[in-house]
Amino acid sequence: MDKALQILRDRIDEIDDTILGLLNRRASIVTEVGQIKKREQAQVHAPRREQEILERLEKQNPGPFPNEAVRAVFREIMSASLALEGPLKVAYLGPPGTFTHVACLKQFGTSASAVAVNSVKDVFNEVERGRADYGVVPIENSTEGVVAHTLDLFVDSPLKITGEILQEVSHHLLSRTGVLENVKRIYSHPQPVAQCRAWLERHVPDVPIIEVYSTARAAELCRDEPEAAAIASDLAARLYGLTFVEKKIEDNPSNSTRFLIIARTAPERTGRDKTSVMFSIKDRVGALYEMLKPFAEQKLNLSKIESRPSKRKAWEYLFYVDIEGHLDDHPVKAALEALRPQCQVLKVLGSYPTAE
């Protein structure tokens, strides 16, 4: 072996040993923090503190180690540290390998106990009943729009939105052999199929598409069917032992999905927050204009507005609005106070840190 190369490797080993020692020093302090939180009955998970750590490290990072990698490494460090303070359970739309699972790992790391459930409603149930500390649910896709079922579940749920995750979504065609000519049928969820429609029509126009309830289920089926392929995530490929037939087959290269984090308690104000509300109004001329007027008067930006049938009365609608700012900010509070008398229903779904 080249002597110069060996010297460099020895230096890397020394640095790794130092990192290991520092990680264990950090873990010892985290354990003490956990004991204090337990005595004071404080919440174990502190999203605001985690965000402060990540932002501070990114700002002072001189490189060449990229900030994206800094965030990923320290997310895992914090995930492992959190597990030392106490077990953290997170419910997500399963089975393992879905894009919701990918988002869950991105936010909470691999040391959290990720619990796969069969539906978005089951995610809400797990958190409402205290069997999970948090839940991760899809809310909208940049190509296909809002996930209406998720919005509808907030109507009767006591849960709060405590965070959001923006996840770039790349769809891959996977199979056991990785050979396109062997593919006789393709499994996937309806949304990824719609997001890959142009590629599918161009490359496999005669191959039947079979819709299943999740991309992970599609990958699971392909594991036992040599002539089948799945449109799924790279995580699903690893979990189910599949090979890439073609990578990134989505029609829109900037395809992304927004996920919400739900919990029983609200997070602390961070100074860079978003507030989500839902309200219903009486059907009259100019009603929606009057509803939006308080936000304009307070110079508040609405990053999203969506309407859904209330399902309680014909032609009655619920409006879902995302407001830039926290519920404790004066402009947000003033706008909602002006709005409330005009509403049949007004419900604050949560104030939470805005995802980058």
Q: Give the E-state strand segments of 9-133 in sequence order.
A: 89-93, 113-117
The yes-or-no answer on residue 259 being catalytic is yes
The yes-or-no answer on residue 257 being catalytic is yes
Closest CA to 349 of 273, 289, 251, 292: 273
Q: Could you say which of 98, 143, 150, 257 is catalytic?
A: 257
256-263 and 145-146 strand pairing: unpaired
DSSP character string of 102-135: HHHHHHH-TTSEEEEESSHHHHHHHHHTTS-SEE
- Rounded to whole angstroms, how far apart are CA atoms 332 and 176? 53
Contact 312, 306 (CB under 8 A): no
Whole-angstrom distance between the N-terminal and C-terminal Cα of the chain? 45
Q: Could you say which of 108, 259, 279, 295 is catalytic?
A: 259
User: Rounded to 5 degrees, what angle do the CA atoms 235, 13, 74 make?
Assistant: 40
HSE-CB of 340 using CA atoms within 13 angstroms: 8
Instruction: Provide the 3-class DSSP secondary structure of residue 155.
Output: coil
- Rounded to whole angstroms, how far apart are CA atoms 28 and 174? 43
- The letter for the amino acid at 22 is L
- The letter for the amino acid at 56 is R
Closest CA to 92 of 167, 33, 22, 38: 167
- Rounded to whole angstroms, how far apart are CA atoms 258 and 303? 13
| Catalytic residue ranges | 257, 259
